[in-house]
């Protein structure tokens, strides 16, 4: 695991400065504190910060082929590198190291871009091909590893994080209005956009080519497969096959020359990963969990149950409200606005794990593959309710939206309000229901917090562009729910969930692997009919049945919980003063983005319990903190 960066200047007569490349490497030092390497050849520069995981003494980067005409900067892990290395040696290639990185150099020589089909792993890399004077870059099938890039009259620049691309001083910092609109709708900026119009992200399963004097060419080499008919398939045999694929995926992700641990939330996905790690490991698996004093958000009891069942070396940390002192640090690591509050516990569980291991496995991706989000159940309900006459649906929805908030304690009133919203969403039809369920909050409420000028600018953009684009790609004729499962794979998984895990773990120099997104496993799962994975609207129904003999019964029976943070309560109590100090500050007002009077009323309404605006307040807070870190 590493951080990578690079520059290819448009003018061949100019040389890339070691100072420039060194500054870019310095911006991502946290991604690779063990080593730094630079390749400088006239107008070309590649840089790498290395976190040593495989071939500790010999894996220095960048790495070139025998004659120095192909050089790679690489971030990630190739789990089948040993098999590829044997194959390439048989084809006449000579290896100078035992590192997985070198497979990319010789594999590119031998197979060109067809190499990507042979890789099993998570990766983002850039190859400088001096014979063709070409940059060839690629990211893995699910976008687990990031790749930012920019292109202009000065040349081509890339990096693992936006911060190192900005450190090149080759791209302007002009806000992308479309990206801002999507951030406030979804809480993140979906690929291929970044928050700056001059910088883009390489989407999952794509590769890029660039030569001087031409535009970058981006092509897709992999898309998630569609479900296939399984007529006549024995459900028991499918469950056995699934468990086999799960075991193989976890086993393959244990390849390492350093100790490997696991995040353990107590949910079914992380519990499966830990159970299968324990099967494959001779030593107790190091496991790490985060909890909260707030019982509604705490799952430590379930994590302890799993840890006890599998005899893990278990460690825990409880997060208090004062843990938000690290928010400016988190903002700097994202380098663009990011409003998923679960980034906070992800940062702390990464810090806890990094005290004793360099690599940790997580259960991310299970909800997307096995139909685990309650959103999908809500979309199914929306399809069913479409049978009701339109006037009836509109009347019920209007009554629900206009229902007065009950004069109960805020926690109870919040729950009732959320339940009413879920029902109202499902009256709107599947597409609108999905958008409302994945949105941070009501778009009208978001716009009301902006100044007129900012509202006019951001309101002109479609905040659900990425979702509409994904829906447009889906083939017709299959299971209607499959379209929405693919939206999650295309949009929220790579641009939300995986961004959070990558940035927060690498902030602590920890490599996190996601075996449930192993593409061999994913191919098997995604080709199963949706109704096989989601029988009778049971979230993760097939997965639960397949691991019934493996996990404790309370883990199998539990409802979907999620890695949530009690920000709603914090903003009413412990953090009310902090958020007011930031959002009502003169600096915020002078920036001209937020209407401070409207924000003041929003904060007062939330603090009094008249409404739950926790998600919106968090998004405003993170955007302002980002402005102070990056724009000021």
The residues carrying an active-site annotation are 2
Report cis status (omega within 30 of 0) of the bond before 62: yes
Q: Are 589 and 596 in contact (CB under 8 A)?
A: yes
Sequence-ordered list of residues with C-beta below 8 angstroms from that of 212, at least 6 positions apart, any chain: 8, 10, 12, 133, 155
**CB neighbourhood size of 115 (10 A):** 23
Q: Are 347 and 330 in contact (CB under 8 A)?
A: yes
Number of helices and strands (H, E) in the chain? 30, 17
Q: Are 47 and 21 in contact (CB under 8 A)?
A: yes
**CB neighbourhood size of 225 (10 A):** 13
DSSP state of 33: B
Calculate the CA 491 to chain-centre distance: 9
Length of the chain: 632
Q: How far is CA 394 from CA 80, 391, 597, in A?
A: 54, 5, 33
DSSP state of 490: I
Q: Compute the C-alpha angle 325/327/332, nearest 5°.
A: 135
Separation of alpha carbons 35 and 2, rounded Å: 9
**What are the b/e assignments for 547-581, b being 16+ CB within 10 Å?**
beebbeeebbeeeeeebebbbbbbbbeebbebbbe
DSSP run (H or E) holding 268: helix 268-280
Q: Is 396 exposed, middle or buried (0-12, 13-18, 19+ CB in 10 A)?
A: middle
Separation of alpha carbons 13 and 15, rounded Å: 7
Calculate the CA 152 to chain-centre distance: 28
Backbone angles phi, psi at 209, to 5 degrees: -125, 140
Q: What is the dihedral of CA 585, 590, 591, 593, to 10 degrees?
A: 80
Q: Are 144 and 122 in contact (CB under 8 A)?
A: yes
In 333-491 the beta strands, taken as DSSP E runs, fall at: 359-361
Return the structure tokens found at 342. Answer: 């679960």
Calculate the CA 309 to chain-centre distance: 30
**286-291 β-sheet, strand order:** 313-318, 286-291, 260-263, 359-361, 511-513
Separation of alpha carbons 22 and 17, rounded Å: 8
Report cis status (omega within 30 of 0) of the bond before 192: yes
Separation of alpha carbons 377 and 433, rounded Å: 11
Q: Are 405 and 610 in contact (CB under 8 A)?
A: yes
Separation of alpha carbons 6 and 45, rounded Å: 5
Separation of alpha carbons 338 and 361, rounded Å: 23
């Amino acid at each position: 695991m590493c951080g990578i960066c690079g520059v290819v200047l448009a003018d061949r007569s100019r040389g890339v400065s070691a100072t420039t490349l060194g500054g870019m490497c310095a911006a991502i030092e946290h991604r690779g504190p063990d080593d730094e390497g630079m390749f400088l050849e006239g107008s070309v520069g590649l840089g790498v910060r290395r976190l040593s995981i495989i071939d500790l003494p010999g894996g220095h980067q960048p790495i070139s082929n025998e004659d120095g005409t192909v050089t790679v900067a690489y971030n990630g892990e190739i789990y089948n590198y040993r098999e590829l290395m044997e194959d390439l040696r048989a084809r006449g290639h000579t290896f100078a190291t035992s590192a997985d990185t070198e497979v990319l150099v010789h594999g590119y020589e031998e197979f060109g871009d067809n190499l990507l089909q042979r890789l099993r792993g998570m990766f983002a890399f850039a190859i400088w091909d001096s014979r063709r004077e070409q940059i060839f870059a690629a990211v893995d099938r699910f976008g687990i590893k990031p790749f930012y890039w920019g292109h202009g009259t000065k040349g081509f620049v890339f990096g693992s994080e936006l911060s190192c691309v900005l450190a090149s001083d080759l791209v302007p910092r002009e806000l992308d209005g479309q990206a801002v609109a999507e951030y406030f709708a979804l809480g993140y900026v979906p690929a291929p956009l970044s928050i700056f119009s001059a910088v883009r992200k390489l989407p999952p399963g794509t590769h890029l080519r660039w030569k001087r004097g031409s535009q970058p060419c981006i092509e897709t080499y992999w898309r998630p497969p569609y479900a296939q008919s399984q007529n006549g398939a024995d459900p028991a045999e499918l469950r056995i096959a699934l468990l086999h694929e799960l075991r193989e995926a976890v086993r393959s992700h244990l390849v390492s020359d350093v100790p490997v641990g696991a995040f353990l939330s107590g949910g079914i996905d992380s519990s499966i990963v830990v159970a299968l790690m324990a099967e494959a490991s001779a030593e107790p698996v190091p496991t790490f969990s985060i909890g909260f004093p707030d019982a509604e958000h705490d799952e430590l009891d379930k994590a302890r149950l799993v840890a006890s069942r599998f005899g893990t070396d278990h460690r825990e940390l409880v997060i208090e409200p004062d843990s938000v002192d690290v928010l400016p640090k988190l903002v700097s690591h994202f380098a663009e606005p990011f409003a998923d509050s679960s980034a906070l516990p992800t940062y702390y569980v990464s810090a806890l794990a990094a005290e004793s291991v360099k690599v940790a496995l997580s259960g991310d991706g299970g909800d997307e593959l096995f139909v685990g989000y309650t959103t999908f159940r809500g979309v199914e309900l929306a399809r069913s309710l479409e049978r009701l006459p339109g006037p009836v649906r509109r009347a019920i929805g209007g009554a629900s939206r206009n229902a007065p908030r009950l004069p109960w304690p805020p926690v109870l009133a919040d729950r009732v309000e959320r339940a009413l919203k879920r029902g109202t969403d499902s009256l709107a039809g599947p597409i609108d229901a999905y958008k409302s369920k994945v949105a941070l909050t009501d778009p009208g409420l978001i716009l009301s917090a902006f100044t007129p000028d900012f509202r006019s600018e951001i309101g002109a953009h479609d905040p659900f562009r990425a979702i509409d684009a994904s829906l447009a790609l889906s083939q017709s004729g299959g299971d209607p729910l499959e379209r929405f499962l693919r939206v999650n794979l295309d949009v929220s998984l790579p641009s939300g969930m995986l961004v959070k895990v990558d940035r927060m773990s690498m902030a602590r120099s920890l490599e996190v692997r996601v075996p449930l997104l192993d593409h061999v496993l994913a191919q098997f799962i995604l080709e199963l009919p949706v109704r096989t994975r989601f029988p009778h609207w049971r979230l993760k129904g097939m997965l639960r049945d397949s691991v019934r003999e493996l996990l404790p019964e309370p883990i199998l029976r539990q409802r979907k919980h999620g890695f949530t943070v009690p920000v709603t309560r914090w903003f009413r109590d412990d953090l009310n003063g902090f958020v007011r100090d930031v959002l009502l500050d003169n600096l915020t007002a002078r920036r001209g983005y937020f209407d401070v009077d409207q924000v003041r009323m929003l904060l007062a309404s939330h603090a009094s319990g008249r409404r739950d605006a926790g998600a919106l307040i968090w998004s405003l807070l993170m955007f302002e903190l980002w402005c102070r870190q990056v724009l000021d």
